[in-house]
Amino acid sequence: MLAVALGCNPVNPDNGGGNGNGNGEGQGEGQGGDTQPETGEKLAGITYQLNVYSFADSDGDGWGDIKGITQHLDYLDGLGATALWLSPIQTSASYHGYDVLDYSAINPKLGTEADFKDLIAKAKEKGIDIYMDYVLNHSGRGEWFNSAIASESSPYRSFYVLSGNPTADVAAGKVDNYGGAKTPGMGNWYTAAGGDLGYKGRLHFKLDWAKKTITVTETTAAAQQSNPSANKWLWIGSAGLVGLYQTGSDTHEITIDVDTDWGFLVRSSSTSWDNGTKWGGNGTSLTFGQPYSINSSTAADITFGGSSIWYFASFDKSMPDLNYGPYANASASPAFKALAESADKWINMGVNGLRLDAVIWIYQNQAAANASFLKQWYDRCNQTYKARGGKGDIYMVGEAWEETSKIASYYQGLPSLFNFSYWWTLKDRISKGKGDDFAKTVLWFRAQYKSHRADFIDAIKLSNHDEDRAGSDLGRDIAKEKLAGAVLLTSPGKPFIYQGEELGYWGTKSGGDEYIRTPIKWTRSGSVPTASLSGKVDNAMLSADISVEAQSASESSILNVYRAFAKARNGYKALAQGEMKEVQAGNAAIAAWTMSYDGQTVLVVHNFKPATVSASLGGYKLSYIIVSNGICSASGATVTMSPYSSVVYLQ
Ligand code: MG
């Protein structure tokens, strides 16, 4: 018996009467036939996204861990989860794990392989798959990278995007990582020597403005203060703007203490950063004591590495891009083979899916190149999965963080992609109190995807670990947050719930990404693990009342709204897998649609407005509520809905 109402008045007393304000199951069972859900079966592919380092700590070291997840499988089962997407669990230098050092080893702070095998087995007992986060665009600076830059004969030399002369190699089209583009969409070249781009110590700078050279020498001479009335400046490391002293008609000098990890630039203006006022190098490091040519067109950082080797990184110098060679033949590259072998290990261990990070940047925003690469990767992993005896095909979802029209073609490479536009649209419409074009917009997204792949799996979501929290986007208004969760769980596609969203968590990236990755507060009085986040948590959010314990006891909590709608989705095949059809309900505030599958149809109605409104739903049965939130009452063909309420009727 899955009929669940949270405050909505069932409209047909024959179906068990109203419970007004309860997590009631008094909706009656008499619907009969094959529309009855089978208790315990989970029909919907609801995935819970969790940060392993901050979800649940089993050993009290302040880090969430794999055992902590295993201990809370009942909670995840109660949210209807059929899969968990885990943040990267491999060894890494950062807390978040997106700079993997060894793709085949588990970060000891998170647990052991035995812990992971145990999680996979215990999750399987509850019908929950495990998806690993796989970072293919870049690695961390681990053994592979250190070996690659140390020697030309390293077996890992080809794993990275290396160049002795980036400017020339890019111009000659020799950088496969760019996927045929002449310039990268994002990222920088960094010197590789010892990993050190910068310098710490006392240096003398002599700028020859006539020759456009700068000569830097190490010195023990007395350091000078910046010249506030200079007309030539350095921009350098922690010091920022440093004014030079004019010592000749075209020479400017200074001796200063330097602490920089990226090098420096020359400026002919203290205020402008335009090309023409910003002067730098051409992609090579300077040599102490020798004049170094500067220019204002390339204006690359002037580094101290003294290296003849540069590497490219899309995101950060701690994350060198991996190099898979020409994209059409990527699967033959040594890096691809090594990554695939690491994935084999986890797939053979029982992992049923992968979430692929930053797929737009594998070949620098070149959609065709990326789709080609992703298809090769998917096919390779699916081969292993099938050989293992996995059910159906392996699940794989790509993070292509762009609007739908720009990423739809990635479906040529992968069965599933995150739908970022879905959340951007939903929060916009909730803020405007306008629901009547929501279904139309979702159907448009789906049409884009379908044009590239008939069996696409639309991975819908609210916010994730890289975005401001849904709670903050919705102004920390719990009524709006409940609505957003209800919409997510009644939309077509594969919904992802992000850790804490179901508790009404808020947080923005402005104080650091840690603030959108807050641990779950499990009990009213218990502490939360914050060591992995360096203590960067908003304690106002970790209050007793927001805890899982408190919200579980409160029938009107956001947690129980998520549970109720997840339960409904898992129990009704039309909600879980149905085809969406738009319904116009005669009111701009109302988002309404039907979902149909295998002879079953449900009618979904949401009020996006902070006011009570009426929906005209002639021709639909308004007698059996599967799930609801808020007050919804039907009279004839009209449903009156309280602010931000939701209701699903069985047809
Ligand atoms: Mg721990």
Q: Which two tokens stand for residue 643?
A: 């602010």
> What value does the CA radius of gyration of the chain take, rounded to a whole number of Å?
28
Residue 13's pLDDT is 30
Distance 120 CA to ligand 1 centre (A): 18
pLDDT at 578 over 80: yes
Distance 508 CA to ligand 1 centre (A): 25
Q: Which of 104-108, 297-301, 469-473 has the lowest mean pLDDT?
A: 297-301
pLDDT digits (tens, 9 = 90+) for 181-214: 888 888 888 876 544 566 778 999 999 999 999 9
Residue 259's pLDDT is 82
193-308 maps to CATH 2.60.40.10: yes
Residue 193's pLDDT is 53
Q: Which of 78-82, 162-166, 281-285 has the lowest mean pLDDT?
A: 281-285
Number of Cβ within a 10 Å radius of residue 248: 11
Helical ranges in 300-435 per DSSP H: 334-349, 367-388, 404-407, 420-432
pLDDT at 383 over 70: yes
Per cent of the chain over pLDDT 90 is 79
CB-based contact 472:507 (threshold 8 Å): yes
Distance 537 CA to ligand 1 centre (A): 17
Angle at 211 (CA atoms; ends 205, 215), nearest 5 degrees: 20
pLDDT at 32 over 50: no
Cβ-based neighbours of 419, under 8 Å, separated by 6 or more? 404, 445, 458, 459, 460, 461, 493
Mean predicted confidence (pLDDT) in 96-104 = 98
Residue 258's pLDDT is 87
Catalytic residue among 65, 129, 133, 357: 357
Burial of 172 (0-12, 13-18, 19+ CB in 10 A): exposed
Mean pLDDT of the chain: 91
Distance 465 CA to ligand 1 centre (A): 20
Distance 140 CA to ligand 1 centre (A): 23
Look up the pTM and report it.
0.82
pLDDT band at 6 (very low <50, low <70, confident <90, very high): very low
Residue 306's pLDDT is 53
Mean predicted confidence (pLDDT) in 75-95 = 97
Residue 274's pLDDT is 80
Number of Cβ within a 10 Å radius of residue 444: 14
Q: Which two tokens stand for residue 218?
A: 């190490």
Cβ-based neighbours of 206, under 8 Å, separated by 6 or more? 214, 215, 216, 217, 247, 251, 252, 253
pLDDT at 3 over 70: no
Domain boundaries along the sequence of the chain: 1-36+572-651, 47-135+400-551, 193-308
pLDDT digits (tens, 9 = 90+) for 135-160: 999 999 999 998 998 888 999 999 99
Distance 53 CA to ligand 1 centre (A): 8
pLDDT digits (tens, 9 = 90+) for 389-409: 999 999 999 999 999 999 999
Residue 23's pLDDT is 32
Residue 249's pLDDT is 96
Task: Look at the block and give the residue holding tokens 């529309």.
Answer: 35
Q: Which helix (H) or strand (E) holds 206?
A: strand 199-208
The fold for domain 1-36+572-651 equals Immunoglobulin-like (2.60.40)
Residue 197's pLDDT is 61
Mean predicted confidence (pLDDT) in 264-280 = 89
Distance 535 CA to ligand 1 centre (A): 15
pLDDT band at 305 (very low <50, low <70, confident <90, very high): low
pLDDT band at 263 (very low <50, low <70, confident <90, very high): confident
The fold for domain 47-135+400-551 equals TIM Barrel (3.20.20)
**Is residue 598 annotated as a catalytic residue, yes or no?**
no
pLDDT digits (tens, 9 = 90+) for 541-575: 999 999 999 999 999 999 999 999 999 999 999 99
Q: Which of 20-29, 225-234, 415-424 has the lowest mean pLDDT?
A: 20-29
pLDDT digits (tens, 9 = 90+) for 500-535: 999 999 999 999 999 999 999 999 998 898 999 999
Residue 374: name the closest of 352, 400, 393 by CA.
400
Catalytic residue among 129, 399, 502, 514: 399
**Is residue 399 annotated as a catalytic residue, yes or no?**
yes
Q: Which two tokens stand for residue 386?
A: 């099938």
Residue 159: name the closest of 336, 394, 395, 393 by CA.
336
Facing residues of 632 across strands?
A: 641
Residue 299's pLDDT is 84
pLDDT digits (tens, 9 = 90+) for 326-364: 999 999 999 999 999 999 999 999 999 999 999 999 999
Task: Count the helices and strands in the chain (H runs, E runs).
Answer: 16, 32
Distance 530 CA to ligand 1 centre (A): 10
Could you check whether 47-135+400-551 and 193-308 share the same CATH topology?
Answer: no
Mean predicted confidence (pLDDT) in 260-289 = 86
Strand order in the sheet with 199-208: 245-246, 251-260, 199-208, 213-218, 292-293
Nearby residues for ligand 1 (ion, Cβ within 5 Å):
57, 59, 61, 63, 65
Q: How far apart are CA 522 and CA 530, in angstroms?
A: 13
Residue 276's pLDDT is 84
pLDDT at 34 over 60: no
Mean predicted confidence (pLDDT) in 166-185 = 87
